[in-house]
Amino acid sequence: MEAEFDLITIGAGSAGVAASRRAAALGARVAIVEAGRVGGTCVLRGCVPKKLLMYAAGLHDAFAEAPGYGWTLEPPRFEMARWAQAKAAETARLEAVYRRMLEGAGVEIVAGRAQLEDPNTVRIGDRRLRARHIVVATGASPARDTIPGIEACATSDELLDLQALPRRAAIVGGGYIAVEFASHLARLGVAVEMFYRDRLPLRGFDEMLRTGAAAALAAAGITLHPGNAPREVQRTGDGFLLVAADERARDFEWVLNATGRRPNTEGLPLELDERGALRVDARLQTSWPGVYAVGDVTDRRNLTPVAIAEGRAVAEMLFGGGATLPDLERVASAVFMLPPLATVGPSEAEALAAGLTVEVYETEFRPMRQAFVGGEERTRMKLLVGSADQRVLALHMLGADAPEIVQSLAVALTAGARKQDFDRTLALHPTAAEEFVLMRAPSRVVGPETQT
C-alpha cells in the first residue's frame, strides 16, 4: 500500500514536529513517522522532566533558608514515587498537546519504525509512503558502551523513571547531564560521587563557569574525582563495583552513565561524518538529494531551540520559497544545576583561540538572599568585549536566575550591542542582573599580544 505526500518526517521530537507543522501550514501534505511516543527527548526524557526535578531539588535549599526568614517548618521529606507520578502525568499531558497540534495542522501521524528505501520512499512495516522530500529528525540517545560494563548502568532516561532513590550513587561523566543530576540528587538525599576525565567538569564552557560549578558541587556535599574516569564497571549482586583510573575499586548501590549521547543513525543508509552523525551540507541536505536532516542527529548544536529553528527553516526552504538557517555562532545555553549557569557567545579561551583581543569584565558576589541568612553561595558573572569595536561578544553567569537573565541579554548580543549600550542602561535595583550594566572597568585585557 502506497501513500503520496509532499513531506515525510522521520521522528516526532522537537525538530520533526516543528518541520511538519510549518510545512503543513504552508500547504504541504505531511506525514510524520514515530516509533515511540510523540514529543521526543526534550518533552519526555530531557529538558522538561529534568527541570521539574530541579524544581523539586531546589525546594531543599528553600527549606534550609526558610528559618532565616522567620519560618518554622516540620522536617521535610521527599518521595521520589510521588514526583515520578506527577512527572508522568505532565509528560503525558504534553504528549497529548503535541499530538493535537500535529492533527490540528493536518499532519498524519504514522506509528512505527521507518526504513528509508530511497530519496522518496519510506517503509513502515507493510506500508510504503512516498514523498517529494524527506526530513530525518531521529535525534540522539545516551551512549551505552563507552566503558566496559557500563551498559548495565542507568542513563538519564531511567533516572527520571525511578520510583525510589538510592542512598549512595556514582555519576560517571563531567558534562551537563552529569552535573545537573549530581546537583539534584545530592539535594534529594543521595550521597553522590562524580568521576570524570578532565580536571574540571563542563569541558567547553568558560573557565569561570567550570570552576564555579565545581565549587558549587562540592558545597552541595558531592565528592568530586577529577582526572579519575572509571576504566570498568562490574555488576555485583546488590550494586556495582566501579574501577577508576586510580585502580581503586569502589562499591555503589547505583551508577548513572552520563558519558555522552550519540545520534540515532542506526539503519539509515546515509553518509555519516567522523563523529557518527548524519553529514549535511549548508542547506541541511544529506548525501541523498531531497533528504534533509535536522536536530541532534546532525550533532552540531544539540539544543532544542536549534532543532526547532532548523526544522522550521527546512520547511520554509522547501515549501515557502526560501529561508535563513539559524546562526549557530551565538546560541545561548544553560546548565540547570543548582545554582544554574548560562552562557552566550565564546568562552575566554575560544576568543583567544580565534585571535581576538578582548576586554574581560568580571564580578563575583554573595547574592542578597544568601547574605541575609548567612549562606555561602556565590554568583559569578563575566562579559567579554571586543577591544577593537567595543562590541559585547559574550556573557557568562553562574547564579540564581542565570538562564532567565542570559536569555534576555542574548537579544542585546544578537542585536550587536556595544559596551557603551550596557553602560548607559540604568540598573534595576536590587537585582542580580543589574551587575551586568554596572561593570565599568575591565579586570584584564587578553589577546594574541598578551600571550607568551
Q: Is the pLDDT of residue 405 over 90?
A: yes
Buried b (16+ CB within 10 A) or exposed e, 306-342: bbbbbbbbbbbbbbbeebebbeeeebbbbbbbbbbbb
Question: What pLDDT digit, counting tens, does each position of 45-68 carry?
Answer: 999 999 999 999 999 999 999 999
Catalytic residues: 429
Q: What is the mean pLDDT of the chain?
A: 96
What proportion of the chain, given as a percentage, has pLDDT over 70? 99
Identify the pLDDT of residue 321: 82
List, in order of start, the domains of the chain with CATH numbers: 2-141+262-319 (3.50.50.60), 150-259 (3.50.50.60), 339-440 (3.30.390.30)
| Alpha-carbon gap, residue 61 to 292, rounded angstroms | 46
Q: Using 50, 70 and 90 to split pLDDT, how confident is the model at 229?
A: very high
Q: Which three cell numbers stand for residue 166?
A: 538510592
The reported pLDDT for the residue numbered 1 is 47
Question: b or e along 61-70 (b: 16 or more beta carbons within 10 Å of the residue's beta carbon)?
Answer: beeebeeeee
Q: What is the pLDDT of residue 47?
A: 95
Average pLDDT over residues 208-216: 98
Judge if the upstream peptide bond of residue 430 is cis by omega within 30 degrees of 0.
yes
pLDDT band at 3 (very low <50, low <70, confident <90, very high): low
452 pLDDT band, cuts 50/70/90, is low
What's the rounded mean pLDDT across residues 78-99? 97
Task: Starting at the earlier edge strand, list the strands of the sheet with 249-252.
Answer: 230-235, 240-244, 249-252
AA identity, residue 35: A
